[in-house]
Amino acid sequence: MITVYEHPSKFLTTVSTPFDFATDRIPMYKDLEKFERDMIGCMKGERGLGLSANQIGITKRFFAIGHESFDILTKPVIMWNPSIVKHSEEKVLDIEGCLSFVGIFVQVLRPKKITVKWQNIKGETLTNELDGMESKCFQHELDHLDGITFDTRVSKLKWNMAIKRRDKLNARSK
């Protein structure tokens, strides 16, 4: 069973290494296709738009991403060894949440459009141009693989306000 690690797990700040299809294995899985289905199932079960390997305790470069509301990645996929090839100069400030920081939402500034490269389960290299929610989500998950969490992308003041909002909402629901 796949479990999502929450802050302050050390996995969230560990820089991931590339996944080598010839030599790397996923613990407890003999079949990569089964693992992909389970990871995507976990992401969907948690109501996420993305889920990085770090968040499930694996420090390799891959993540699940996708949602029916997206323009291109309408069906979730696992992106192995993802990277950003190019990004727009234009940036957008948009709200983000994270499955490892339950109930915390902050506005993060990121490039609006990106061109990305990644591998599928067969090791084939694919590219996509992403915009909007897909671009933001890809960048957020890629940050995880680089050991960066979204709390470091905002000021201490904004972060503390977001924590207070979460705590206030949690107090109301009790």
Question: What pLDDT, in 10s, does the model give residues 125-161?
Answer: 999 999 999 999 999 999 999 999 999 999 999 999 9
pTM: 0.96
**Mean pLDDT within 18-37:** 96
Res 42 pLDDT > 90: yes
Task: Show Cβ contacts of residue 164 under 8 Å, excluding neighbours closer than 6 positions.
Answer: none
Please confirm, yes or no, whether 89 is among the known catalytic residues: no
Res 99 pLDDT > 90: yes
Report the CATH fold assignment for 10-172: Peptide Deformylase (3.90.45)
pLDDT at 75: 96
Q: For residues 41 and 14, what is the distance between their CA atoms, to the nearest angstrom?
A: 24
Q: Which of 36, 96, 134, 141 is catalytic?
A: 141
Domain ranges of the chain: 10-172
pLDDT at 147: 98
